[in-house]
Chains A and B, each alone.
Chain A
Amino acid sequence: MSDKTKIYGLLAEFAGPDELVRGTEEVSEAGYSRVETYTPFAVEGISEALHFRPFAVAVIFLVAALLSAAAGYFMEYYASVISYPENIGGRPLHSWPSFIPITFEMGVLGGVLGGVLGMLVLNRLPRYSHPVANVERFRAASSDAFFLCVESSDPRFQRELTESVLRQAGATQVTEVPLES
């Protein structure tokens, strides 16, 4: 349809977090897939309503931590045994107990850096401009407003029909999201 091209989607505002969760579930049941919510804090139950599980983040954390821990241990082993083996106070060249602390610290450091980086990338951050922000009211999304957006790219998206679905789902107000401001 022609109106698909003009707008990014429909932005529905809900009274509160619980209404939003309920609404989201209904909209999902209605078969909409390209749906996103916008809330001032992490509302419990939203991810379930959106059928989304942040599995990837956890994996990234794990892998990054293991890799950098291994790297840390190898660095110590290389320096003390391979590169310049030296008799330090009669201790064995490969004094593995002494190598544990750094290995651990490296693991934590790598894990956190990798994981957080992964989280940002998966969240497509930084992204400074986004169509939903074209709606003036959206500014409240970071304080006390609870939004649900159905994007026009959704195969089931139809301007009027979708709006009615949203209203039935309990939206207090539905506005169009223009592509350009």
Chain B
Amino acid sequence: MRTTPTSELEPLLPPGVTDDSISERISGIVVKRKMGLGWIGGFAIAFSLLMMFNYAIAVLFAYGVGIWGIQIPVAWGFAIVNFVWWVGIGHAGTFISAVLYLCHQEWRTSINRFTESMTLFAVACAGIFPLIHLGRPWLFYYLFPYPNTMGLWPQFRSPLIWDMFAVTTYAIVSVVFYFVGLLPDLATLRDRSPHRWQRVIYGLLALGWRGAGRQWSRYKMAYLIMAGLATPLVVSVHSIVSLDFAVGIVPGWHTTIMPFYFVAAALQSGFAMGLILIIPVRHFYHLKDIITGRHLANMAKLLLATSLIVGHGYFTDTFMSWYSADPYDKFIVADKFSGAYAIGGWMLMILDVGVPQLIWIRAVRQSPVALFVIAILANVGLWLDHFILVVQSLHSDYLPSEWRMFYGTKWDWMTLFGSFGLFLTLFFVFIRIFPMVAMSEMRGLVHKKPGETKEQGA
């Protein structure tokens, strides 16, 4: 993909933009533009990956989790790694739409729809793994608190139950948040669609939104409070996910730094994934003047900031294990950088902490291609990070007699790459049916008085 270097100081909006032109361009992509060959090709690839995913899961249900590489002591493998990774990716979306909203960061308006969609699809992918990693997935409902004839309840001291509640809540809230944000744009699509059937469908979805003054003010109030609730939620969810490990006594898991650096890692992977998606899309759909270099630069800076926090997490973790003088924890940390998984241990450091440091350089910040590559590397690094956390910690814990190496099988890899299929398929569908940018908020931006627009900053 060829892209010209962009300036991170260019204005958030193209010159001479009007409400109508914004609405026309963005809704046009959905309601007027024909499916391009590029889209069809991309969708085809994504969908075939999805089918592979489906196949792998069918085989899994037929034979059991034994088709994966997991064993004793490493009873958790790819499934949990992928879960943590995907949930993390989701977080950036909520962060951008909620936290930046509360901080009045106007630049978020052109990308929050994007990242919110990303959140939904990432959570969808994540949600599958805890289910399929069960030994008896058909009994998943044992985890739900419902009045049964056995007189039994879930065991509420288990972080896995907290996790189930957190992820479910997170998924539902994200959907609601997404829909509410979408409501006015659905109305726009209703009114701008050329074909009646489109208008009917969007009309039904828009619930008859008319943009009445009182509606708007209640809407704004609700949106503000939801943002206020989503902010602690996004922190809590990955904190709880981190408790899946921190509550355990496994050396390498049992540390208080976990929630802090888990959240940071989550955001980092999310910003990275955001860049991975936005950069090609703004290129292929010619949205460079709406999603500007300034947006990319801001995302990149967030990526850089979080990568520094993660780095600090690694440092603290290592330091504490030395300082605590807990022999088991010390062994695990030493093994992480010198043991059988040392390559992973070093690679993840380089990829998710080292590489993002390039963003300090302006030229890199302004090169979409460079950012694209950095983002991909960072996400690989973060996947490795979770892999090392789960596998390397488990493979040599307290009793040396039960130390064993873990090797992923082809089914492990199929489920990993298959989940990309699900994610991309959903994403390709999204760019066909929903506006990629929040039009109503953009219009708001159009009518800002000059000077009222704050200087950008992350």
A–B contact with Cβ pairs below 8 Å: the answer is yes
Are A40 and B440 closer than 8 Å at their CB atoms? yes
> Known contacts being A108-B169, A142-B184, is A80 close to B176, with CB within 8 Å?
no
A105 touches B169 (CB 8 A): yes
Q: Do B191 and A143 have beta carbons less than 8 Å apart?
A: yes
Known: A108-B233, A119-B218. A39 touches B211 (CB 8 A): yes
Contact A142 B229 (CB under 8 A): no
Cβ contact within 8 Å between A115 and B172: no
Q: Are A75 and B169 in contact (CB under 8 A)?
A: no
Q: Please, which residue of chain A has its CB at the minimum distance from the CB of B226?
A: A112
A143/B226 contact (C-beta < 8 A), A40-B440, A119-B219 known:
no
Q: Is the interface of A mostly helix, strand, loop or mixed?
A: helix
Say yes or no: A109 contacts B236, CB within 8 Å: no
Tell which of B3-11, B152-160, B312-320, B357-365 binds the partner: B152-160
Nearest-CB residue, chain B, relative to A123: B215
- Chain A contact patch, size range: 35 or more
Contact yes or no, A54 B213, CB < 8 A: no
Residues in chain A near residue B112, CB distance under 8 A? none
Q: How far is the CB of B95 from chain A (nearest CB, A)?
A: 15
Shortest distance in angstroms between B319's beta carbon and chain A's nearest beta carbon?
Answer: 27
Q: A39-B213, A50-B213 are in contact. Are A102 and B184 (CB under 8 A)?
A: no
Interface residue tally of chain B, by bracket?
Answer: 35 or more
Q: A91 contacts which of B23, B157, B169, B220 (Cβ < 8 Å)? A: B157
Contact B208 A128 (CB under 8 A): yes
Q: Is A101 an interface residue (CB 8 A)?
A: yes
Q: Which of A57-65, A156-164, A167-175 lies at the interface with chain B?
A: A57-65
Assembled-state Cα–Cα distance A108/B226 (Å) = 9
Query: Which of A24, A36, A89, A130 is B208 in contact with, Cβ under 8 Å?
Result: A130
What 0/1 pattern do residues 437 to 451 of B give for CB contact below 8 A with A? 000110110010000
CB B164 to nearest CB in A, in angstroms, measures: 9
Q: Is the CB of A40 within 8 A of B207?
A: no
Residues of A within 8 A of B (CB): 16-17, 24, 36-43, 46-47, 49-50, 52-54, 56-58, 61, 65, 75-76, 79-80, 83-84, 88-89, 91, 95, 98-99, 101-102, 104-106, 108-109, 111-113, 115-116, 118-120, 122-123, 125-130, 132-133, 139-144
CB-CB nearest 10 A-B residue pairs: A79-B153, A144-B19, A126-B207, A37-B213, A47-B217, A119-B222, A101-B162, A41-B443, A54-B221, A54-B218
